[in-house]
Structure 1
Amino acid sequence: MTSSIPAVVTRMAEGSALQAVLLDMDGTLVDTEGFWWDAEVEAFAELGHVLAEEHREIVVGGPMSRSAAYLIQATGADITLPELSALLNAKFTERIEQGVPLMPGARRLLAELAAHQVPTALVSASHRGIIDRMLHSLGPENFALSISGDELERTKPHPEPYLTAASRLGVDPARCAAVEDTATGVTSAETAGCSVVAVPSVAPIKPAAGRAVVGSLEEVDLPFLRSLITIVH
């Protein structure tokens, strides 16, 4: 599939400035942000600690390493970062193996992008093993490629994930629309130069220049995404 991207981009460029759509996974396409929090709460309960709700907004949307390190520091739990990361991934995996609910509008949006041959990438801070399991629910055929947090030197909120996705697709980040649910992801995509659609999941996200904020993916379709890209080459 990836080898056909340049030709697809050429055809798309003739009718739209939009070259590709880059989508976050947890909380954006799949309703799993609660799964991660439940896994974190359960893990720390086993360690003798109660996680306050205030911690949730801090860890949401970030890479495992950052979230785990923060929670260890905040609670003083007697566990190493590698041990906690492995524990959280195991508990999260247990939950998603019972089935992963898609966010409202996600399947319809992916089908629309595929029908119009829009190059699409999954850009996540989750590990490769988690992404591969999620793709069974999302449909691997809906994505030209996927980017995982453990395959990059720097992950969200750094722009590297989105810059890498655009580079591998052979497109200009400034002609990409990114869809995110957290401030961490929005920062990553905007710093990379993408126009962003924010669909807040846990914490609110304010509108800004080059950023649209919607209530759900039910409000997002291809004409809407194309309207975000104003650059003309």
Structure 2
Amino acid sequence: MSEVFTDVDQTAVADGGLSGVMWDMDGTLLDSERMWDIAVRELSVHLGGTMTEDTRRKTIGASSPNALAIIFDSLGLEHHPDALAEAKDWMYSRVEELFADVGWRPGAQRALALVREHGLKTALVTNTERRLVDRALDRLGREYFDHAVCGDDVPEGKPHPGPYLRGAHLLGLHPSKCLAVEDSPTGAAAAEAAGCSVLVVPCEVPVPESPARVFRTTLDGLTGADLHDVWATGSRV
């Protein structure tokens, strides 16, 4: 993975402290997991079955290809490329319909502004594909992000570290100088594997503890000192 980083990335390791924040989107900044919940459950019906709670848990935070594979396996369906493509288009079209009503997660809007006020570089790093992310950025505020890494920008989505490695690369930072903010086990695993400190604010499912992870119940009340403290805790691991 070393080829991912530029010379700037490598020299950044020794300089300063927290330099960038990378945000997950669904369930972290936007209260959009419920929309995905509706869409994947309805997709299962569209495909001729029903979704179990265990299957739903497995899809939370997953990339689109992984989520569709989980759904198809749960329904005993073959992974035919045309069927997967049709299911993906159906799912995304349904989420687009629901997205008009998406709201913020508690404290998220203020947290985005806080990071900007402290002069930190920022990236949105999500498994959601760009067709939806472009719409979400209108709600989030494009001015809060220097870059966005979407699910269709990388060969493998979270829990693979690739999305966070790409985010750090675009920011010109080594991952060790970045704090990732996540809500799911999938996202936290990706950020940690990339070498980031991780702030976890669980949404739909519990997230396992780890030395590189610091937990909060909400982004409400987050301060600049909190950001640096969380990063420092993770960076000592």
Instruction: Give the TM-score of the pair, scaled to structure 1.
Output: 0.89
169, 174, 177: which one pairs with 1:175?
177
SS in 2 for 1:217: coil
Partner of 1:212, secondary structure, is strand
Paired amino acid for 1:95: L
Does the CA-based 8 Å contact 1:63-1:155 persist in structure 2? yes
1:148 to 147, 150, 155: 150
Distance 1:32 1:82 in 2: 22
Q: Bigger CA drift: 162-171 or 42-51?
A: 42-51
Q: Could you tell me how far apart the structure 2 residues matched to 1:170 and 1:23 are?
A: 16
What 5-or-longer segments of structure 2 have no aligned partner?
1-7
Separation (CA, whole Å) in 1 of partners of 2:181 and 2:44: 31
Paired with 2:135 and 2:45, the residues of 1 have a C-alpha distance of 26
**Paired residues for 1:17-28 under 5 Å:** 17-28=17-28
Which consecutive aligned stretches of 4+ in structure 1 deviate over 6 angstroms post-superposition? none
Matched, 1:65 2:68: no
- Please, what TM-score do these two structures have when normalized by structure 2? 0.87
Which residue matches 1:3?
A: none
* CA–CA distance in structure 1, aligned partners of residues 224 and 163 of structure 2: 23
Q: Is the 8 A contact 1:205 1:213 kept in 2?
A: no
Moved more, 73-82 or 148-157: 73-82
- 1:67 Cα deviation after fit: 0.5
Instruction: State how many pairs are aligned.
Output: 220
**Would you say 1:90 and 2:93 are equivalent positions?**
yes
Rounded to whole Å, the distance in 2 between the matches of 1:166 and 1:95 is 31
What amino acid sits opposite 2:178 in the alignment? C
In structure 1, the residue matched to 2:5 is none
Q: Is the 8 A contact 1:119 1:144 kept in 2?
A: yes
**Distance in 2 separating the partners of 1:192 and 1:106:** 23
Q: Which amino acid is 1:151 matched to?
A: D
Instruction: Give the % identical residues.
Output: 35
On the 8 A contact 2:198/2:231 being kept in 1, the answer is no
2:35 is paired with a residue whose SS is: helix
Alignment of 1:197-216 (within 5 A): 197-216=199-218
* CA distance in structure 1 between the partners assigned to 2:192 and 2:88 by the alignment: 28
Q: Which moved more, 1:103-112 or 1:49-58?
A: 49-58
Q: For residue 219 of structure 1, report the CA deviation from its aligned partner.
A: 4.7
Contact kept, 8 Å, 1:35 with 1:95, in 2: the verdict is yes
Structure 1 unaligned segments of length 5 or more: list them.
1-5
Q: CA deviation at 1:77?
A: 4.6
Does 213-222 or 81-90 show the bigger shift?
213-222
Q: Distance in 1 between matches of 2:187 and 2:70?
A: 18
**Partners in 1 of 2:209 and 2:224 — Cα distance?**
20
Distance in structure 2 (CA, Å) of the matches to 1:53 and 1:107: 30
Q: Which moved more, 1:65-74 or 1:79-88?
A: 79-88
Cα deviation for residue 43 of structure 1 reads 1.9
Q: What do residues 195-218 of structure 1 show as CA deviations (whole Å, max 9, x unaligned)?
A: 001111111113321211111111
Counterpart in the other structure of 1:29 = 29
RMSD of equivalent CA atoms = 2.0
Q: Secondary structure at the match of 2:231?
A: coil
